[in-house]
């Protein structure tokens, strides 16, 4: 009886091709899972963002930054960008003082508050140059310099000379957000459109 010939082993190149195909399929599955998780977690962050935004005043908008959602959720904090319009800054400054005529404007990347003040027996509108800094989880806006008739003077000095407590409050600084807030401000800078803040909000 003639013995059946033994089956020849698969050529090595064929085995390598199969192995490569399996690896590619596995990588494809991993990529799909990562993309699906990223989309799901972005939705979760957006929900948390809307919850935080509901407590903010008009003229303040919040957006996710470009950090991957997977990384943000892993850290337990969502990184956000907060834009504050001059109108919102006007409302905050008015709430902190008794200066109903105060108006905040953005001029070439600088925030300027125009304030009617009693000067030499009449009411004159002066410019207050505003500075902003992130301090203790808040953005603090301070009046730094009074600009009037070609002169620049420290706000604290003018406040003392006029006996103005409101100017003194602006020199000390107005904090945003006020009171309890889910937002923690980490950076602040002025822009041609107002104020841009870097912030974080806890996910859980």
Domains of the chain, by residue range, sit at: 12-204
d(CA 196, CA 188): 6
Structure tokens belonging to residue 171: 């020199």
**Angle at the Cα of 87 (from 172 to 132), degrees rounded to 5?**
35
Q: What is the DSSP letter of 2?
A: P
Task: Give the pLDDT score at 155.
Answer: 92
Task: Give the pLDDT score at 36.
Answer: 60
Which residues sit opposite 129 in a β-bridge?
112, 145
Which pTM does this prediction carry? 0.70
Q: What is the DSSP letter of 139?
A: E
Tell me the pLDDT of the chain (204 aa) as tens digits: 555 555 555 556 666 677 777 677 777 666 665 556 555 566 666 776 666 666 677 888 888 776 766 666 666 677 788 899 999 999 989 988 888 899 999 988 889 999 988 877 788 899 999 999 999 999 999 999 999 888 899 999 989 888 889 999 999 999 888 777 777 899 999 998 899 999 887 766
Task: Give the pLDDT score at 133.
Answer: 94
């Amino acid at each position: 009886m003639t013995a059946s010939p033994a089956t020849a082993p698969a050529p090595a190149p064929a085995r390598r091709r199969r192995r490569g195909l399996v690896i590619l399929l596995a990588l494809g599955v991993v990529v799909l899972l990562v993309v699906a998780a990223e989309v799901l977690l972005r939705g979760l962050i957006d929900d948390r963002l809307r919850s935080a935004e509901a407590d903010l005043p008009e003229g303040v908008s919040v957006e996710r930054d470009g950090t991957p959602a997977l990384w943000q959720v892993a850290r337990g904090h969502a990184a956000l960008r907060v834009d504050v319009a001059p109108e919102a800054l006007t409302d905050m400054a008015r709430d902190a003082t008794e200066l109903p005529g105060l108006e905040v404007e953005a001029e070439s990347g600088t925030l300027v508050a125009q304030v009617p003040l009693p000067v030499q027996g009449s009411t004159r509108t002066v410019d207050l140059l505003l500075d902003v800094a992130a301090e203790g989880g808040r953005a603090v806006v301070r009046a730094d310099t009074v600009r009037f008739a070609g002169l620049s003077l420290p706000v604290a000095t003018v406040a003392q000379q006029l006996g103005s407590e409101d100017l003194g409050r602006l020199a000390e600084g107005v904090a945003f957000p006020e009171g309890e807030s889910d937002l923690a401000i980490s950076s602040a800078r002025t822009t041609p459109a107002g104020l841009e803040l870097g912030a974080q909000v806890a996910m859980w």
